[in-house]
Structure formats: structure tokens, C-alpha cells
Amino acid sequence: MRVLIAGAGIGGLVAAMCLKRAGFEVEVFEQVSELKPLGVGINIQAGAVRILSSLGLEPALAATGIETRELRYANRHGQTIWADPRGRHAGLPWPQFSIHRGELQMILFDGARRMLGADGIRFGRRIVSFEQKGTKVTARFADRDGAVVETAEADILVGADGIHSSVRAHFHPDEGPPKWQGILMWRGVTVGKPYLSGASMVQAGHHTQKFVCYPISRAHAERGEALINWICDLYQGEHAAPPREDWNKPGKLEDFLPRYKDWDFGWLNVPEVIRNAHTILEFPMVDRDPLPRWSHGRITLLGDAAHPMYPIGSNGASQAIIDGEALTQELSCGGDPEAALQRYEQRRLPPMARIVESNRRKGIDVMLDLVEQRAPQGFTDLESVLPAAELDRIVGDYKKLAAQDRETLLKLAGRQ
């Protein structure tokens, strides 16, 4: 069986490797002319690292990124609300990694190229149209000038072409732009001093003003430094999202730094981290409404093309990775490929829709808002502000929703 994948992002490359390992013929088409290690930091949850490890990629991840020790939530004064060990530090069989997104992209690309061969990933190929006839799908790809330069035929087409997916738009032409609820994000990377455990991911503040940070470079850690990936979220009010051409534009310190001028936690000086960034990017926090279906005959969606979500709970990339494994497993069962795609959809669409909807309601981050509402000046006794039973329920419900709870993860490893 031959599978075409539109998109060589995280989800597309992992799906390609999983499918190739299972014996499928796979070809990936990517619209950019060359993959480059761009972007800022990203977190890969242990449940997704399980899949990358099975593909032989864990040594490269460990040599490049940071094995996350803990996730810590704090109020805007730096007081800890909740801290949770991650990955192997929580007794799981796999680590959680914090890594530069560009480095992760190149690790996946190198792995996929080894498995698929030099011609298995085609660059400068943007999918522009496709059609199904009988048991085949024919797709057409254009270059950057819009000229159709290649046509390919396969048994299955997977749209892994991101939040602005052309494959998704074919089936939902009236969907419109991604949805925005008014939060802009500024992101940067700063060389600074290690903080807390030296491998801590921190989320501080509340929904309308939040600061997230985590170290992403093993090389810097070995030199006694921390390459800190950071994100500032600020609510801008309810109005139209910035146009697509303004996404990832250079950010200006004066637009957001004054709001964080007093955020010195003692263990981390937030204004100092922001000011020392090499580059700052600005873009809106957006998602899309969950779809009623992903699969149409022999065509399906994967990753951000299927379920773009707010970056709460570090779910976006991790869930795209899990999609690739699930798709491969269903196609590997044999039988009718269209039925396999329906099973994949039935397995993955409902939980992804629940995560999208939960993240719109702040997801696990709701604990930050509760503490801000109940104790805006800080607290001396967390139990009187957010009782342990209430906190445990928030955390437990979200972990189960995102399949990040210990029981689910160990079942995936065949362990109890």
C-alpha cells in the first residue's frame, strides 16, 4: 500500500516513519524548499517520547534537549501552587523532553530520510488539488510560483499540512481563519542562569497574563548555563485576530515587558530573562473548532491539520506524534483502507475534540486563575486558597483527558 503525506512537520515525519517501519510505501511532500532548524522551544510528553524511542530517536533527543524533571505552576509572585515530576522522574519508562523545535525537526528529518531514502521526502511541493477514483487518490503539487510540477498517485492521502491545511480546506471551504480569543504570545530564547532543578518547566501567572519557561539545551547545561525558552501570554481584548502575514513577526519589548516589570521571583528574574533574549517573535494563540470527521474515503487528516489547539498542557506536538502511531496501527490491521481510516478517526477524533474544548476553557491552567481570583496578593497557606482535593481533581481530570495519567501511560507500555 502506498501512502502520500502532505507536510513534513512533526506529525507528518513521525507518521511517515511509523508507516515505513510497518511495511508501507511512503512519500512525503513539503511546501518549503528546504527544512531549517527554526523556531523556539517545544515539549514532548512521555507518551509521545515512547513512540520516538521506538523509532530509535531517543539518543539524539537526549544528546540535544533537556530531560524535563518537573512541571511547576506558580502565581504571579512566584509562589508554587503545584509541582509534578515528569517522565522518568515520575517513574515512567520514558522521559519527557524540552528541546528547541528546530533541533527536533532536524532529528525527525534525519530519521525519516534514513528510513525513506533520499527521494522519500520531496521539497518545494505544496498540495494544490486531489481527487479519488476507485481505490486510488491522485494529488497534484505546485512549486512556490504556483505552477503544478508533480502529480502522484497512492492508496491513501494524509493531510499533515498544519493549521492552514489545504487538505482540510478542500473538505471545509467555508471554515474561515483560525479562532482567536484575544491572547497574543511573545516567544524568545535566552541564555541565562539555571533555576530551580535546572530542568524545570514553569507556568506562572494566570490566563490573561502568563509566563512560561523551560531550559531546552543539554550543551548549555553542561557549561553551567541554561538556554531558556520563554513565552509571555497577554490578553488583548476580543477583536479580530491579526492577519496571517503578521504571524511570527518580530516582537517589541515595549508591547509587553512593562507588564512583567515586577515579576522577580527570587529564583528567576522574569524581566531580565525577557530583556536578554536574542530574538523575540509575536503571534496569536489560536485554534480551530473540532471537525465532525477527519476521513473522507481514502483521505484523512493528522496533527494540526486535524486538531489545532491552544498550547495548554504541552499537547500539540505530542498528540500529532500519537496520531501517526494510531494511523499506522489501524492501517496495519489489513482489510479495507477506508474502514481503517474510519477506525483511526473514531479512535483519535473524540479525545482530541475534548482537549481542544478543554483548552479553550483554560484546561489544567484553571488552577492559576482560581489562585489569582482568591488570593491576588499571594498566599501564606495554599490549602486555604485552593484545597488539595480541588487541586487534585483539576490535575487528575486533565491528565486523564490528555492520556497523560500514569495508569494510561503504563498500559501503553504493557505494564500495570
The answer to whether position 313 is within a domain reads yes
State the DSSP string of 123-160. Answer: -S-EEEEEEEETTEEEEEEE-TTS-EEEEEEESEEEE-
| pLDDT of 366 | 93
Given a contact cutoff of 8 angstroms between Cβ atoms, the answer to whether 237 and 244 are in contact is no
Largest CA distance in the chain: 68
| pLDDT of 237 | 86
Residue position matching grid coordinates 500500500: 1
Separation of alpha carbons 358 and 16, rounded Å: 29
Separation of alpha carbons 286 and 162, rounded Å: 13
Q: Are strands 70-74 and 126-133 parallel, antiparallel or unpaired?
A: unpaired
In 3D space, the residue among 301, 313, 319 whose CA is nearest the CA of residue 358 turns out to be 313
The answer to whether position 141 is within a domain reads yes
In 3D space, the residue among 236, 191, 188 whose CA is nearest the CA of residue 212 turns out to be 188
State the DSSP string of 305-349. Answer: GT----SSSS-HHHHHHHHHHHHHHHHHT-S-HHHHHHHHHHHHH
The answer to whether position 209 is within a domain reads no
Q: What is the pLDDT of residues 302-344, one digit of tens each?
A: 999 999 999 887 788 999 999 999 999 999 998 999 999 999 9
* Cα angle: 180, vertex 181, 185; to 5 degrees: 75
Cell of 336: 479495507
| pLDDT of 414 | 60
Given a contact cutoff of 8 angstroms between Cβ atoms, the answer to whether 45 and 29 are in contact is no
Kindly tell me the number of DSSP H helices and DSSP E strands found in the chain: 13, 19
In 3D space, the residue among 323, 303, 305, 368 whose CA is nearest the CA of residue 82 turns out to be 368
The answer to whether position 8 is within a domain reads yes
CB atoms within 10 A of CB 176: 10
Q: What is the pLDDT of residues 397-412, one digit of tens each?
A: 888 876 666 676 766 6
Q: What is the pLDDT of residues 325-335, one digit of tens each?
A: 999 999 999 89
Any residues with CB less than 8 A from the CB of 360 and at least 6 apart, and which?
A: 181, 287, 310
Given a contact cutoff of 8 angstroms between Cβ atoms, the answer to whether 96 and 46 are in contact is yes
In 3D space, the residue among 207, 167, 396, 171 whose CA is nearest the CA of residue 303 turns out to be 167
pTM above 0.75, yes or no: yes
Q: Order of strands across the sheet with 249-250?
A: 80-85, 70-74, 200-206, 209-215, 226-235, 179-192, 280-287, 249-250
Residue position matching grid coordinates 484575544: 182
* DSSP at 8: -
Separation of alpha carbons 150 and 141, rounded Å: 5
Any residues with CB less than 8 A from the CB of 136 and at least 6 apart, and which?
A: 153, 154, 155, 298
| Amino acid code (one letter) for 197 | S
Question: What CATH number does the domain containing 119 carry?
Answer: 3.50.50.60
The count of residues in the chain is 416
The answer to whether position 345 is within a domain reads yes
| Amino acid code (one letter) for 99 | I
Which residues, given as ranges, of the chain have pLDDT below 50? 415-416
Residues of the domain holding 123: 2-46+101-177+289-360
The answer to whether position 13 is within a domain reads yes
**Cα dist. 205→167, 362, 388 in Å?**
38, 13, 19
The answer to whether position 282 is within a domain reads no
157 beta partners: 4, 299
Given a contact cutoff of 8 angstroms between Cβ atoms, the answer to whether 74 and 40 are in contact is no
Separation of alpha carbons 69 and 263, rounded Å: 23
| pLDDT of 333 | 94
| pLDDT of 416 | 36
Separation of alpha carbons 18 and 49, rounded Å: 13
**Helix (H, G, I), strand (E, B), or coil: what is residue 46?**
helix
Separation of alpha carbons 18 and 15, rounded Å: 5
In 3D space, the residue among 9, 27, 14 whose CA is nearest the CA of residue 328 turns out to be 14
Q: What is the pLDDT of residues 156-192, one digit of tens each?
A: 999 999 999 999 999 999 999 999 989 999 999 999 9
Separation of alpha carbons 239 and 227, rounded Å: 35
Q: Are strands 66-67 and 97-100 parallel, antiparallel or unpaired?
A: antiparallel
In 3D space, the residue among 311, 259, 256 whose CA is nearest the CA of residue 280 turns out to be 256
* Number of domains the chain contains: 1
The answer to whether position 12 is within a domain reads yes
